[in-house]
Structure 1
Amino acid sequence: MLYHLDFHVEYPDDITQQELFTIWSEEADTALHAKQAGVVIDLWKCVGTRRVIAIVDVPNPDTLDQILLDLPIMKKNGQRVQVEVTSLRRYEDFAADIKARLGANNS
């Protein structure tokens, strides 16, 4: 199953930017390793904000939830990370469904 993940990362006054960068560096290593493994299809850092967008491919929502809970940024700064999750459907599958529905209506 494909998912669109939209991470919004904040950090409290009690840690420095350098400490946030240390956490984020560990997170980046994890994310790039997951990309090499094929779990992360691709990811992007939004310019000028603490926002990251990822497309991931996991077998089910339980697996995604487990992965999210184990991310370094969630373990070390999770109370200040918001993740919006959207299930995705391959467009080719959607297009085939529409064509099949058109064919069924013409019968």
Structure 2
Amino acid sequence: MLFYVQMKWNHEGRITLDELWEIEEEEARHAQETLDSGYCIGLWKVAAQKRVIAIVDAPSAEELDRNALGRLPMREYLDFEEVWPLRDYTGFAEDVIARYKV
């Protein structure tokens, strides 16, 4: 299942900048692993903002939750602003054409 995930860094006053870069380095390695495995379809850092956007292909909402709250090195310093399940548009179009009748 595809998810749009928007995260914002929330570290100010909680850790030093040096500590942030140490954790972010771990996060960068984790991000590359998720991209290489296909779990994460795309990952973007928003320019001039402390915000990251990901398209994740998780088998379930539970697995997304496990990764977000248990595996991400930055989990203590990320606010998940938006998490939206995504539906393939062609499937939606087929339902529209069929008027949602099975």
For the pair 1:82 / 2:79, whether they are aligned, the reply is yes
Structure 2: which 5+ runs fail to align? none
Structure 1: which 5+ runs fail to align? none
* Structure with the larger helix share: 1
CA distance in 2, matches of 1:28, 1:93: 34
Could you tell me how far 1:12 is from its partner in structure 2?
A: 3.0
Q: What TM-score, normalized to structure 2?
A: 0.89
Could you tell me how far 1:81 is from its partner in structure 2?
A: 1.7
CA distance in 2, matches of 1:14, 1:6: 21
Could you tell me how far 1:14 is from its partner in structure 2?
A: 4.7
CA distance in 1, matches of 2:28, 2:56: 15
Larger Cα Rg: Structure 1 or Structure 2? 1
Q: Percent identity?
A: 39
Provide the alpha-carbon RMSD of the alignment. Answer: 1.5
Q: What TM-score, normalized to structure 1?
A: 0.85
Q: How many residues align?
A: 99
CA distance in 2, matches of 1:25, 1:100: 49
Following TM superposition, the consecutive aligned residue runs of length 4 or more in structure 1 with deviations greater than 3 angstroms are: none
